[in-house]
Amino acid sequence: MIRHTFHVREHDWTFRVYIALTEYWADEILGHLWRLGAPMPVMKSANANLRSGRLNGGLTYASPSERETLIVVAKTTTAAELFNSVVHEIDHACMFTFPLVGITPGTEEAAYFKGGLGREIFPMIQPYLCDCCRRKMGHKKGPNAGV
């Protein structure tokens, strides 16, 4: 599992990212959601999602009071699915975070912000963006996939 936290100074906003998690990390992530003040329906949904062991999924939550967005990407079956899941969760992160930091969707500022998130997350996932490389690292395709 890969963890990364970074701060966007211009907007005084923190992002905490978990990549390739398994259900074993559910308690840590649920604890963090609780500290961010996630309401009970979000906690219940996140609990079911995190403990399901489902591949190619994720979740995102933004906390206005803590000025933080949590991005979670589950293990994936292929490199393409990893890329897809990360892009998908970045989109959710932006959708939730933009109104809280005053960014208008569809603007140049929004595009640069999204690109900045991608640039921060890229080093975390780069080694896993090639199926050949994933196999060399011992990751399998399919239901028993690695990252």
Ranges of each domain in the chain: 2-136
Query: Strands 68-74, 2-8: parallel, antiparallel or unpaired by DSSP?
Result: unpaired
Return the pLDDT at 25. 87
**pTM, rounded to two decimals:** 0.88
Which amino acid makes up residue 68?
Answer: E
Is the alpha carbon torsion for 31, 36, 37, 38 positive or negative? negative
Return the pLDDT at 67. 98
Which amino acid makes up residue 147?
Answer: V
| Listed residue (16, 15, 13, 14) closest to 3, CA to CA | 16
Return the pLDDT at 141. 55
Report mean pLDDT in 10-residue bins for the chain, 147 residues: 93 94 84 97 95 92 97 93 96 97 97 97 89 69 49
| E strand residue ranges, 22-134 | 58-63, 68-74
The pair of three-digit structure tokens given for residue 19, joined into one six-digit string: 């990549």
